[in-house]
Amino acid sequence: MKKHLLSMLGIGGLIFVGLLVSGRSASEALYLAAVLACPVMMVGMMLMMRGQQHDDDHPTDEVTKQGAVATDAERTEVAADHRHR
């Protein structure tokens, strides 16, 4: 949480300085930096996550009737029971 807050402040600061350099007043630049920090960080995180590979070899967890997550052994056992019927 602390890292996220520091990142938000850093991005907001960069936006603030950029707006000041572009000729905005300090109050307008501060307001726009606060408003734009969140969406800019969200787009940045989405772009960073886009390059990550996801391993699709892992089976999805199945929830049993009791609400517990079924293990691979339990799934195999259930499948064998259904084949023998």
| 20-74 residue pLDDT tens | 999 999 999 989 888 888 888 888 888 888 876 655 555 555 555 555 666 666 6
Domain boundaries, position 13: 2-50
Strand ranges inside the chain, DSSP E: 62-63, 69-70
User: Where do we find the tokens 């699709």?
Assistant: 56
Per-residue pLDDT at 7:
79
Total domains in the fold of the chain = 1
Q: Is residue 25 part of a domain?
A: yes
Are 33 and 15 in contact by the 8 Å Cβ rule? The answer is: yes
Q: Is residue 71 part of a domain?
A: no
- Please give the torsion angle defined by the CA atoms of residues 3, 6, 11 and 12, in that order, rounded to the nearest 10 degrees: 140
Q: Is residue 42 part of a domain?
A: yes
Sequence-distant (6+) residues with CB within 8 A of 11 are 37, 40, 41, 44
Q: Is residue 81 part of a domain?
A: no
Q: Is residue 74 part of a domain?
A: no
Q: Is residue 84 part of a domain?
A: no
Q: Is residue 10 part of a domain?
A: yes
Specify the pTM: 0.48
Are 8 and 41 in contact by the 8 Å Cβ rule? The answer is: yes
Are 30 and 36 in contact by the 8 Å Cβ rule? The answer is: no
Q: Is residue 20 part of a domain?
A: yes
